[in-house]
Amino acid sequence: MAKVIVVGGGLAGLTAAFRLCNDAQVHVDVLEAGPSLGGQIQTDRSAGFAIERGAEGFVFRSEAVPALAADLGIGDELIGQSVLHSYGFSDSGLRVLAPGEAAAFLSFQVSTADLGKGIRTFRRGMASLIWALEDRLRSRAQLQCGAVATRIEPTDHGASVTLEDGSRYDADLVVAATPARATASLLGPHLGEAHAGLALAPTLSSVTVELAFERAQVDHLLDGTGFVVATDQQRDGLRAGTFSSAKFVDRSPPGQISLRLFFRPSPEDVRRLDDDAWTQRALAGVRRVLPVTGQPLRTWVSRWPDALPVFSDGYKAVVAAAEATLAPHAIVLAGSAFHGAGIDAAVRSGNAAAATAKVRGLTS
């Protein structure tokens, strides 16, 4: 029986593992460094709230995510946004934006096909995908959390993975579904000239703060998806806010609401400032934009240092060079760090990694 090791239990790694497990001839091991699976998808469900700590949805045009959801048996849990329009905040206050204007406020490009369509998610939160993948994989693959890989190397018959505790695993194929800089460290000299470029991969950091209030504490209709702050009006890195409990159904208990504030901080600030400092920044920011009284009922601070890849032309060339260098070996790269940021890209990349096993004759 062929053996495949997937390093990294985020969405891309789990998708690859799930697709590979459909073949009875393949044994799959997933090695995840963190305490739980999911990577940048983490949904907290407590006290009637569903709080997204990472991704909150995926692009409407995605075909790969609904297809994966259907194969996992959770296609009927997909939902769209309850509302579509957003507000922009500038010194003249809040005003409703035209479709696409929110992206312009934040100076990023959205394809015309995606304009005004919003995003899709799952009724219980994005982690539904992870829970379903974990559920399906538990009986068919070996899933290990707290397994920190330190080295991936080509061998005569495939590739091997060494863990922090010194244990070594051999496989016919290794899928590296890890962030770019971690992958550079895992593969070291086997990346050839692409090593330096991956080790210095450009990234952005993110902090999000979710604040829960009684509905009566916020004197606004909350009748949109949220607000974006004009680039020249941003303070403390606060770029946008989501009216989470208005944007999607079942996000908060009756009579309460939650607001999610998005910061774009330096990696140093992500680590340096404690949760209380981020909460104070979020409260000050939300009070600038909305009439809010009193203190939040609950708060959730989520830190993502160096988490978001930046696909500059230079970085795309580095990824292409890394893949060309690895092509003769039984090692493939997967994940949104290599194949395009976001949930849709992570699923497509996981599908492609599993297809590699077929090309190599490991699966039927």
Residues that bind ligand FAD (CB under 6 A): 7-13, 31-34, 39-41, 54-58, 148-149, 177-179, 182, 186, 206, 208, 304, 307-308, 335-337, 341-343, 346
Nearer to ligand FAD, 41 or 289 (CB): 41
Cα distance between residue 335 and residue 110, in whole Å: 21
Nearer to ligand FAD, 56 or 217 (CB): 56
What's the min distance (Å) between Cβ of 322 and ligand FAD?
A: 15
Longest dimension (CA), the chain: 67
Which has the closest alpha carbon to 180: 340, 361, 17, 18?
A: 340
DSSP per-residue codes, 10-78? BHHHHHHHHHHHTSTTEEEEEEESSSSSBTT--EEEETTEEEESS---EETT-SHHHHHHHHHT-GGGE
Nearer to ligand FAD, 88 or 342 (CB): 342
What's the min distance (Å) between Cβ of 14 and ligand FAD?
A: 7
CA 186 to chain centre: 21
Sorted by sequence, the CB contacts under 8 Å of residue 348 that are 6+ apart come out as: 64, 339, 340
The answer to whether 202 and 341 have CB atoms below 8 angstroms apart is: no
Nearer to ligand FAD, 12 or 240 (CB): 12
Two tokens, residue 121? 């998610």
What's the min distance (Å) between Cβ of 15 and ligand FAD?
A: 8
Nearer to ligand FAD, 206 or 245 (CB): 206
- Assign residue 222 a region (left: φ > 0; alpha: ψ between -120 and 50; beta: otherwise): left
Number of alpha carbons in the 13 Å side-chain half-sphere of residue 23? 20
Nearer to ligand FAD, 179 or 217 (CB): 179
Two tokens, residue 239? 């770029």
Cα distance between residue 169 and residue 337, in whole Å: 24
Measured at the CA of 114, the angle between CA 51 and CA 232, to 5 degrees, comes to 70
What's the min distance (Å) between Cβ of 340 and ligand FAD?
A: 8
What's the min distance (Å) between Cβ of 272 and ligand FAD?
A: 18
Nearer to ligand FAD, 61 or 95 (CB): 61
What's the min distance (Å) between Cβ of 198 and ligand FAD?
A: 13
What's the min distance (Å) between Cβ of 156 and ligand FAD?
A: 24
Sorted by sequence, the CB contacts under 8 Å of residue 4 that are 6+ apart come out as: 17, 20, 26, 27, 28, 29, 171, 172, 173, 174, 175, 357, 362
- Helix then strand then coil, in percent of the chain rounded to 5, is 35, 30, 35
What's the min distance (Å) between Cβ of 5 and ligand FAD?
A: 10
Nearer to ligand FAD, 19 or 217 (CB): 19
Nearer to ligand FAD, 41 or 194 (CB): 41
Cα distance between residue 148 and residue 245, in whole Å: 36
